[in-house]
Amino acid sequence: MTDVKVCGLTREEDVDAACALGAAYVGFNFSDLSPRRVTPERARRLAAGVPAGVRRVGVFVAESYPAIREAIAAASLDLVQLHRPLFEDDLERVPRPVLAVAHAGREGEIPPVALLDRCAGILFDTSVAGVAGGTGVSLDWSLLEGRRWPVPFFVSGGLRPENVGESIRRTRPDAVDVASGVESAPGAKDRGRMRRFFEAVRRADETG
């Protein structure tokens, strides 16, 4: 099955539901710019219920290295997702594997191969610079069709139960990332929409 990352989690019951449905990744947003922001202490409580095998991802934009390290320690993060241009210093100073982020339509945002090869993956989104996802703006999948990368790649941007299947069939990602597409309000996931999202992913995988 294509892996699913449920991002922007702010409530324990939503973390539990995402994991029960089969999420491979759960995401906590630490950016001051996000309506889904959680503090390190809040993330600690949210992460406490994540079972073994589900990877905890911290989402950051302009946060300092000390702030990132504080969040890593608090929530036992497995990956750090950086919504900013990637530099050598990030890979040297962030003590967890980095998930790079690029706008699918801006080739200049894609890290050079020398850096990308050292990342845990790359996530393609539609977010404007300085915004940590969750905008609900759909990705132009044609920008990714037929392309392959040296690391796992994630598709994000406006995914919801109604369109995730088409996204998978067209881009063949390793993982899909959803936030606003399964919400009733920013940070509040809708159980029914989450269930339908996972069902749509499974159908797309089964039908090819």
Helices (H), 37-190: 40-47, 65-75, 88-93, 113-116, 164-171
Are 6 and 160 in contact by the 8 Å Cβ rule? The answer is: no
Of 139 and 153, the one with more pLDDT:
153
pLDDT value of residue 184: 95
- Whether the pLDDT of residue 208 is over 50: the answer is yes
Q: Out of 7, 78, 90, 177, pick the active-site residue.
A: 7
- d(C-alpha 158, C-alpha 145), whole Å: 17
Domain boundaries, the chain: 3-207
Separation CA 188–CA 176 (nearest Å): 19
Active-site residue flag, 125: yes
- What value does the mean pLDDT take over residues 98-120? 91
State whether the Cα torsion 18-34-173-158 is positive or negative: positive
CA–CA separation, 118 vs 141, rounded Å? 25
In the structure, what pLDDT confidence band is assigned to residue 77 with cuts at 50, 70 and 90?
very high
Concerning whether 119 is annotated as a catalytic residue, the answer is: no
The CATH superfamily assigned to 3-207 is: Aldolase class I (3.20.20.70)
> Quick one: average pLDDT of 91-118?
92
Q: What pLDDT does 106 receive? A: 82
Which one of the listed residues 3, 14, 90, 125 is annotated catalytic?
Answer: 125
Q: Which pLDDT belongs to residue 1?
A: 84
pLDDT for position 189:
98
DSSP state of 191: H
